[in-house]
Amino acid sequence: MAGEEKPKTTISVIKADIGSIAGHHKVHPDTMAAAARVLSEAKRKGIIIDFYVTHVGDDLELIMTHRKGVDSPEIHGLAWEAFKKAAQVAKELGLYAAGQDLLSEAFSGNVRGLGPGVAEMEIVERPSEPIVVFMADKTEPGAFNLPLFRIFADPFNTAGLVIDPKLHGGFKFEVFDVFESRKVVLKCPEEMYDLLALIGTTGRYIIRRVYRKSDDEIAAVVSVERLNLIAGRYVGKDDPVAIVRAQSGFPALGEILEAFAFPHLVAGWMRGSHFGPLMPVGLRDAKCTRFDGPPRLVGLGFQVSKGRLIGPVDLFDDPAFDETRRMAQLVADYMRRHGPFMPHRLGPDEMEYTTLPQVLEKLKNRFVKEELPYHIKKRVSEMLEAGSE
């Protein structure tokens, strides 16, 4: 009927590392099947409309559609149950790090803070609703900062920002400070430099959501869970997921994918302690081998129609990205030759959240303080006096 409100569709992408084959390598198909059985029963009962179970590297990925909104206890509980069943199979198979990302035995109504990563958006479907689900392994949520900036704020990447009147007004970026649990919303293009001042610090300031400025319509969402901050210790890298809407008022699919044609350096890789190139790959290559990497990214394209997931299309399984992968291999070679030295190894602030402090603990009492030479102390004193005048 005319004027009748359209039902809203929620897209939920929830992931967790529940165990993998031969190290932090690849999800076992039996664990995926266990999760799929849980979601299939939920679909039969009408709890969810549709679902797709997949993986990237050692992360099990649940893509679901439903009518229950974001942060629904019922949907999060369903994901938790799927992960628990998959982890149980992983333990029976003796898989490595079985149940790694499940930081609690009890579900408390929401998987946020319990280990899994979550990206969700609630939308009123357009007549044609194309989306891309991005899933990364061996990196952190800030890995999406650069490509999301390019997709929604860089006219050299996204031509529509210049020539499409529906995009020309720009977008708003919600940036989340993972250390202080606070957020700020910045508009582009007018606050572009302020935005870049924050999001270049990828370990702390993360683009969590992007909105179209003209009408506040949601355009993209990223999981921002930092496992080490949740658990208080290193339990693996965060391996973020993201949902991006495409076409008809949003960047075209090709503009979205173009942002990943440059394999930029991201934090993670081996033991979550190294910088390496983010390599976009097809599902068949979504396995992390060399130095437990390099960090991988999978992109799956869906049409969402009345909540149904039509697809997916394996977007990076395309020779158009062969040169990107070749560049990533060259960058991986270059970074690996640094061994345990920076800039391959993360800086001291990030290494505080790895296992390195446990190694350094035994050395703390062996450091001997040395007095500065007299002429240096005198010069420092003079500089301090001059500065106070």
How far is Cα 169 from Cα 162, in angstroms, rounded to an integer? 9
Distance set, CA 163 to CA 148, 166, 168, 170, 217 (Å): 19, 9, 7, 12, 20
Q: Catalytic: which of 237, 238, 287, 353?
A: 237
237 is catalytic: yes
334 is catalytic: no
Report yes or no: 25 and 287 within 8 Å, Cβ to Cβ: yes
Exposed (0-12), middle (13-18) or buried (19+): which is 340, by Cβ within 10 Å?
exposed
- Could you tell me the sign of the dihedral formed by the alpha carbons of 56, 62, 65, 69, in that order? negative
Q: Which H or E element spans position 199?
A: helix 192-199
369 is catalytic: no
Contacts of 333 (CB under 8 A, 6+ apart): none
Q: Catalytic: which of 205, 211, 234, 353?
A: 234
Q: Catalytic: which of 17, 59, 238, 292?
A: 17
Contacts of 131 (CB under 8 A, 6+ apart): 11, 243, 244, 245, 246, 301, 302, 303, 304
| Residue 347: DSSP 8-state | P
Distance set, CA 38 to CA 72, 78, 236 (Å): 17, 8, 25
- For the annotated catalytic residues, the residue numbers are 17, 234, 237
